[in-house]
Amino acid sequence: MKIDHTSDKDLSAQIATAIRDAIISGQLPVDKRLPSEAELADQFEVSRPTVREALKRLAAQSLIRTQRGATGGAFVNRLTFEDAYGQQITTSTLLLSMNAVSFETACEARYALERACAVLSAGRREADHLATMRAEIHRQAQPGLSDEAFCASDVAFHRALVDGARNPVLSYQLAGAVEAMQPLMNMITFSARSREEIIALHTRIADAIETQKPDLADAALRELQDYTIALANAVIAERAAQQT
Amino acid sequence: MKIDHTSDKDLSAQIATAIRDAIISGQLPVDKRLPSEAELADQFEVSRPTVREALKRLAAQSLIRTQRGATGGAFVNRLTFEDAYGQQITTSTLLLSMNAVSFETACEARYALERACAVLSAGRREADHLATMRAEIHRQAQPGLSDEAFCASDVAFHRALVDGARNPVLSYQLAGAVEAMQPLMNMITFSARSREEIIALHTRIADAIETQKPDLADAALRELQDYTIALANAVIAERAAQQT
DNA sequence: AGGTTTTTAAATGTCTTACAATTAAAAAGG
DNA sequence: CCTTTTTAATTGTAAGACATTTAAAAACCT
């Protein structure tokens, strides 16, 4: 394996791409040990620091893991959902914070995904997820609950709803959207009135899933989406006013 | 800014995390130039290669870009949707290829997302996306079309359907699911019979969006999902038989 | 004075060499 | 045969040098 030393791209980027392609194509199976840094340097005809930069790029994407010591080295990493979560969350958070996406667009995407999950959840009707949802609703109704705790419980409720779909791909995609919205959600002060409203909608959603009526869940989630956007817009407006 | 030299984690990983956090929190705004590698090495009390490894980690996540020359350096990168696409695709492809996810699960997630988009598309009913869908349907019906071309047109059709939702977050999430499934889809040989079936479903979807009937689009997409899984399962079974 | 060319300096990209730290296997010793 | 010590392989880190690129500054020539 060699590398184009005259290309305008970094050698480390080229090497990273070459190895990444080998992993994606399956030439390098999971848990396979890569050649040592010194060997890679020989093969690609570059120095060890350059190889290391390439390996760090791959490590940043959780494509490899490294181990020190005699039997150490770089190994092809089996990508876990946890890894995928993490990357999805960083990416989504940045997309939102760098103003590439409006809060409303993110919210629309999130609730579109949630409605899709709710339909599947209703079809599967997992007892444990339903129990979690009920428990979180109960917690949300307790007086004296701080806004942070209410928010955390809200996340737990939605997480149970989504996980009830039993589709890890949907779960991990949603994780990004939910996490990215969290900073703004945490700024909301939930009045007694708005909590009531939210709890009522949560109850409707749980009921709909328990009685396996996806269209009712769909409708309740739509209302919740509108309500969330309204609350968030109020915070955004307030923040804008303060900055003036 | 300093770093814990006694931690069990790599210094480059710690530095990357520190800078990443600064970017995510907004301390380092978009297009802000980071200190030069030499300055960072001083600040973190490490060597320049270590700093460089950290920067390469960030570059791999499209968080920074680097430029050579007198006014060069590392700059905080504005994350584009294209960047996000790329990462989403790598992650999804690997999740699928490393058998963390079954084809059926990926397909379910994909079509759940597509149905969510179709509902939005029907509501917005963009003329240009509808025209693209019709054009692709027409192309798919042409005799003598190769399987690859049929497949490519299929992707274009779905892309138009999704983009019609006018929600870039949903578009980029779906990109991963669609791309990840592509290798397997490309192995399918589409018989005249199955093409007919698919084209009929595509037509129903386009009609449903044109007449703004989201439930009809939903139903057609469900059938398409089942049909896709059936076709893919046939390929998988065939492949398994050949390997025996 | 104004435009063109040359020089310069700053920055990243790469290489070389060296040493520290870690770890498992091999060797030594009881 | 078990325990301890040594050894070798490998990654992690450091320091210094040079190459390359780039834009700005300086010099130069109309």
Predicted pLDDT at A166 = 93
Predicted pLDDT at B3 = 75
Residue A8 has pLDDT above 80, yes or no: no
In whole angstroms, give the CA distance from residue B5 to residue B12: 11
Predicted pLDDT at B81 = 87
Q: Is A71 in the same domain as A169?
A: no
Predicted pLDDT at A13 = 97
ipTM over 0.90: no
**Distance in angstroms: CA A21, C1' D1:** 49
Q: How far is A217 from chain B (nearest CA, A)?
A: 14
Residue in the block written with tokens 């997302």: B113
pLDDT digits (tens, 9 = 90+) for A110-145: 999 999 999 999 999 889 999 999 999 999 999 999
Q: Is A67 in the same domain as A99?
A: no
Is A46 within 8 Å of chain B by CB?
A: no
Do the domain assignments include residue B3?
Answer: no
User: Across residues A10-20, what is the average pLDDT?
Assistant: 96
Q: Is B69 in the same domain as B111?
A: no
Q: Is B47 in the same domain as B106?
A: no
Predicted pLDDT at A207 = 96
Q: Of A142, A103, A114, A141, give the one whose Cα is nearest residue A205.
A: A114
Q: Is B219 in the same domain as B190?
A: yes
Tell me the two tokens of residue A148. Answer: 């942070």
Predicted pLDDT at B215 = 92
In whole angstroms, give the CA distance from residue A152 to residue A160: 12
Q: Is A37 in the same domain as A92?
A: no
Please report the DSSP string for B28-58 in residue order: S-TTPBPPPHHHHHHHHTS-HHHHHHHHHHH
Predicted pLDDT at A177 = 84
Per-10-residue mean pLDDT for chain B, 244 residues long?
A: 77 97 94 97 96 98 95 94 88 84 90 93 92 97 93 93 92 84 87 94 96 95 96 89 82
Mean pLDDT taken over chain A: 92
Q: Is A113 in the same domain as A234?
A: yes
Residue A28 has pLDDT above 80, yes or no: yes
Q: Is A122 exposed, middle or buried (0-12, 13-18, 19+ CB in 10 A)?
A: buried
Q: Is B50 in the same domain as B162?
A: no
Q: Is A200 in the same domain as A175?
A: yes
Interface touch A169/B106, C-beta < 8 Å: yes
Is B180 within 8 Å of chain A by CB?
A: no
- Chain-centre distance of CA B72, in angstroms? 31
Do the domain assignments include residue B116?
Answer: yes
Closest-CA residue of B relative to A76 is: B98
Q: Is B39 in the same domain as B149?
A: no
**Strand C contacted by B36 CB (< 7 A):** yes
In whole angstroms, give the CA distance from residue A224 to residue A195: 12
Do the domain assignments include residue A5?
Answer: no
Residue A59 has pLDDT above 90, yes or no: yes
Q: Is A125 in the same domain as A65?
A: no
What is the residue range of A122's domain? 82-243
Predicted pLDDT at A82 = 86
Q: Is B63 in the same domain as B131?
A: no
Domain count, chain B: 2
Report residues 48-87 of A contacting strand D, contact meaning Cβ closer than 7 Å. 48-49, 52, 55, 66-74
- Beta strands per DSSP E along B5-125: 64-67, 73-76
pLDDT digits (tens, 9 = 90+) for A198-222: 999 999 999 999 999 999 999 999 9
Across chain B, which distance is largest between two alpha carbons, in Å? Answer: 68
Predicted pLDDT at A9 = 86
In whole angstroms, give the CA distance from residue A235 to residue A214: 31
